[in-house]
Amino acid sequence: MEVITRDFFLFLSKSSILNRLARNWGSSIATGKIIGGKDFESSIPIIRGLNEQGLTVTVDHLGEFVDSKEVARERTQECIRAIQTIAQEKLESHVSLKMTSLGLDIDLDLVRENMTSILDTAEQHQVMVTIDMEDEVRCQKTLDLFKEFRQRYEYVSTVLQAYLYRTERDLEELNQYNPFFRLVKGAYKESPEVAYPDKKDVDENYKKLIKKQLLNGHYTAIATHDDKMIQFTKDIVNEHNIGKDRFEFQMLYGMRNKTQLELVKEGYNMRVYLPYGDDWYGYFMRRLAERPANIAFAFKGMTKK
């Protein structure tokens, strides 16, 4: 049943008709519930409100698979403006981005140029930029670029997905770069040739990655809404006397708000992933596909006053 649910939402995420309807009619439903707003400026009050509750943030301008150099450069400038505004407004926020939004599928030199502009700004303002991971066919290119940037920049991190067979090897190979990773389960539809098809195997691999990364001594973001994974992380850090300043939990904006605040009260670092922009539909469908329990969390979030 879980596989059927996952495939259903991944199928919906690719519907151009539903995506267009969501852009035209659904933004008002999503704004302030699961996304920050149509632009970064409208998200600032939400970021500030989260910060006042002890929650840090990472913002993401939604949109991917760009096929135009002009649009890729526009996306680049949007990221730069967000970083500058975060610094000017003294917001506790990182920036997340997808390489395809900066031209990964167009030209590697273009994406290098765009990322260099972004990371130069991030270094200047000391704002972390996280390179989101996309589907498996783009994984190697993304990690190769991360290696390049990590040798030149401090304020860059990336994401590893537990459902891919390759990820444990990637984690070990990247250990030399003193990486800050966000660890996730994964939300794209992948072949069983490259990804674990069964949830229990994904969960076990996720636990293995969390433990390895924490014991490697690198700062780690555990992005999960799963109580079992949260407790597993707590048990590992207690068993190995790992300080709470060496990791953080991450959750999506609008989901499990009470749990987020409880973690803050317990003294844990808790970061909220806050997307913004018109292109929210595909993102939302993938989040529902990633974990069926997210359906209930999302419904509660979207119906709150």
Binding site: which residues? 98, 133, 161, 185-187, 199, 224-225, 286-287
- Find the radius of gyration of the CA atoms of the chain: 18
What residues are designated binding site for substrate? 98, 286-287
Q: Across-strand partners of 271?
A: 56, 250
What residues are designated binding site for FAD? 133, 161, 185-187, 199, 224-225
CA dihedral 5, 7, 13, 18 (to 10 degrees): -70
Instruction: Give dist(CA 231, CA 114) in Å, integer.
Output: 39
152 is catalytic: no
Instruction: Give dist(CA 19, CA 13) in Å, integer.
Output: 8
Q: Are 285 and 9 in contact (CB under 8 A)?
A: yes
Q: Across-strand partners of 159?
A: 182
CA distances from 1 to 82, 205, 291, 292 (A): 40, 21, 12, 10
105 is catalytic: no
One of 132, 170, 203, 279 is an active-site residue; which one?
132
One of 182, 256, 271, 291 is an active-site residue; which one?
182
Q: Across-strand partners of 130?
A: 96, 157
Cβ contacts of 100 within 8 Å, gap of 6 or more: 64, 65, 66, 134, 138
Show which residues are catalytic: 132, 182
